[in-house]
């Protein structure tokens, strides 16, 4: 198997808190592949104590110190959406990251089904350049701690203000 055929995703933490994901092999190319990465990230977010509050993660093409062979970049926890440490609007205006993810821990997720208490959720926004004909793309996922995906939606041509998660992420991108 060619190592460039796979997308490796390895979560990492610091001080017991989810700090991000190391991406190896290659970056996701499609909305479907980003949605699959989001599924894994949401499953990790269900683990007790790893994600304390809704957090934004940004894709970066920079490498960690002493990277393992095949490492292509990081998806880093940038900060919470609310509170004293909340990210400010325009934080990602320049340079615009290839993807922004927002993960909601179980304590901040309203599950789509009553029997799914303890589910986490998340969203990935792939910023486009609408005036050049490149549409915004997004995916939303909800998953339980046993790994069951209870909801998964992906869209091309997303109007960011049409959903609360994409609206927040778009606000962080707006200059």
pLDDT in tens, 19-68: 999 999 999 999 999 999 999 999 999 999 999 999 999 999 889 888 99
Residue 16: C-alpha distances to residues 19, 20, 122 (Å): 9, 12, 20
Question: Is pLDDT at 117 greater than 90 in this prediction?
Answer: no
Structure tokens at 79: 């900060």
Residue 156: C-alpha distances to residues 26, 32, 58, 96, 101 (Å): 22, 10, 20, 18, 16
Q: What is the mean pLDDT of the chain?
A: 91
Q: Which helix (H) or strand (E) holds 17?
A: strand 17-24
Cβ atoms within 10 Å, residue 81: 19
pLDDT of residue 129: 66
């Amino acid at each position: 198997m060619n190592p460039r055929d796979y997308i490796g995703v390895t979560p990492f933490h610091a001080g017991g808190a989810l700090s991000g994901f190391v991406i190896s092999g290659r970056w996701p190319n499609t909305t479907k592949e980003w949605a699959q990465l989001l599924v894994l990230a949401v499953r990790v977010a269900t683990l007790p104590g790893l994600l304390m509050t809704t957090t934004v993660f940004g894709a970066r093409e920079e490498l960690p110190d002493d990277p393992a062979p095949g490492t292509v970049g990081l998806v880093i926890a940038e900060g919470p959406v609310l509170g004293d440490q909340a990210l400010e609007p325009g934080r990602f205006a320049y340079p615009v990251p290839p993807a922004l993810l927002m993960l909601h821990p179980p304590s901040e997720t309203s599950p789509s089904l009553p029997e799914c208490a303890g589910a986490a959720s998340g969203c990935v926004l792939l910023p486009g350049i609408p005036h050049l004909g490149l549409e915004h793309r997004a995916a939303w996922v909800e998953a339980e701690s046993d790994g069951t995906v209870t909801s998964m939606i992906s869209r091309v041509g997303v109007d960011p203000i049409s959903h609360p998660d994409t609206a927040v992420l778009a606000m962080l991108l707006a200059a």
